Amino acid sequence: MEEGGPGTGARPQKRPHKTAHVRVVTDHRGPKPSILTSMASHNEIEIKFRVADLSALNRWLRKAGFRLLTRRTHEMNTLYDLPGQPLRKRGELLRLRKYGAEWLLTHKAKGKAGRHKTRVETETKVADGAMMEAILRALGFAPTFRYEKFRAEWSDGKGQVVVDETPIGNFGEIEGPSRWIDRTAQTLQIARSDYLTKTYTELFFEWKKQSGSPADEMTLSAIPSKPRR
């Protein structure tokens, strides 16, 4: 990253020109003085499952000893790729996410899908989402897909369960060590035949084909919710 500054011939009485910059941090407690810190990578192991009854799932999570880390929070995700979509063709993903007031930039490597989905995830916190988008566009990246949801996060200290309310239905994700995932799924009465390893992009286009919807993105504006009777 390059930062602007006064030239060597600048007159001393003039103040240096301020250059806009993006600061990326990985500490969730708040920004640090440095502009860029090292990104955190980990091996993501997870499954998704469909949720028929949100209230019942929340009751089961509390009964199983899970603690609510983050209450229901709005989330908007934008995927980026280069012309020709080389990341998609390699099975990779570059995502800019706004979760509440927080911005996150994430790269996911090509995954391995067995009973669980496993892939290396590298993620970092971003201070200015609009500036990060400008940087991505300057590098030749462009938005390819958007998906929106409301997410709540739960944990028992060993792994995490998230509950997602999306325009195409409600889903849960269980992320953690493989054996813990299976034990947690069993506790929540989720059969292995109900495990899903597809991404939200794949789930959306599967839904689009089945429903015949003209929507091109998984957002609340593209897929308005049906009025309650």
**What does the pLDDT average to over 132-142?**
97
**What does the pLDDT average to over 11-21?**
42
**Segment 170-185, tens digit of pLDDT:** 999 999 999 999 999 9
**What does the pLDDT average to over 185-204?**
95
* CB atoms closer than 10 angstroms to residue 190: 21
Of residues 29 and 43, the one with the higher pLDDT is 43
**Segment 201-212, tens digit of pLDDT:** 999 999 999 999
Of residues 204 and 37, the one with the higher pLDDT is 204
| Residues sharing a CB contact under 8 Å with residue 214, sequence separation 6 or more, in sequence order | none
pLDDT at 122: 95
pLDDT at 208: 97
CA–CA separation, 219 vs 147, rounded Å? 5
pLDDT at 31: 42
**What does the pLDDT average to over 106-121?**
91
The yes-or-no verdict on residue 7 having pLDDT over 90 is no
Residues in the chain: 229
* CB atoms closer than 10 angstroms to residue 31: 13
Of residues 33 and 155, the one with the higher pLDDT is 155
Closest alpha carbon to 161 in 149, 148, 151: 151
The yes-or-no verdict on residue 8 having pLDDT over 90 is no
* CB atoms closer than 10 angstroms to residue 10: 12
pLDDT at 37: 42
- Place 79 in a pLDDT band, splitting at 50, 70 and 90: very high
**What does the pLDDT average to over 156-164?**
96
Percent of the chain with pLDDT over 90: 76
Q: Where are the domains of the chain?
A: 24-211
CA–CA separation, 110 vs 120, rounded Å? 8
Q: Is the pTM of this model over 0.95?
A: no
Alpha-helical regions (H) of the chain? 54-63, 86-90, 129-138, 178-187, 200-211
- Place 118 in a pLDDT band, splitting at 50, 70 and 90: very high
CATH class of residue range 24-211: mainly beta
